Amino acid sequence: IKNAFLIAPDLLGEIREIQERYKHDDILNDTLNLSPPYVYAPNTLHTALYCITKANSFKNALEDARKLDTYYCPILVGILAGARWDVPKELLCDSPKDKIKEIQKIAAKFSEH
């Protein structure tokens, strides 16, 4: 078990390697220069990992993500930061039980048709 934690994958390094490998791809780079909502997934993941790595809390990571990318990065940061630090109760609008009830109501409407 000790070794499992010593041999952690370098996800951030792998993303940087992917970005380097494709930096001269004309089609990809043209896509990167388009206006939003177009997005390049490795860049978004790289930005999210950067925010998680330099943050010391869920809230701090999410604030940084929103400064760098308003579209997709905050979603990934929310998922990763939630797994790392848990989501602060004050940031949850509803309780999980309320969300489950809402999802069940919506699902029931779909099954009626």
List the structure tokens of 50. 């950067």
Cα–Cα distances in angstroms (integers) from residue 74 to residues 4, 10, 36, 71, in the given order: 29, 21, 15, 7
List the structure tokens of 45. 């993941």
Picking from 64, 36, 66, 71, the residue whose alpha carbon sits closest to that of residue 50 is: 64
What's the chain's average pLDDT? 76
Look up the pTM and report it: 0.56
What phi, psi does 53 have (nearest 5°)? -65, -40
List the structure tokens of 6. 């010593």
The alpha carbon of 2 is separated from its chain's Cα centroid by a whole number of angstroms, namely 28
The domain ranges of the chain are: 2-112
Which of the two residues, 75 and 43, has the higher pLDDT score?
A: 75
Picking from 91, 98, 97, the residue whose alpha carbon sits closest to that of residue 77 is: 91
Q: Given this model, what pLDDT does residue 45 score? A: 83
The per-residue pLDDT for range 74-104, each reduced to its tens digit, is 999 999 999 888 888 887 776 777 878 888 8
Q: Given this model, what pLDDT does residue 97 score? A: 78
Q: Given this model, what pLDDT does residue 1 score? A: 45
The per-residue pLDDT for range 17-38, each reduced to its tens digit, is 766 776 666 655 554 455 555 5
Cα gap 20→16, rounded to integer Å: 6
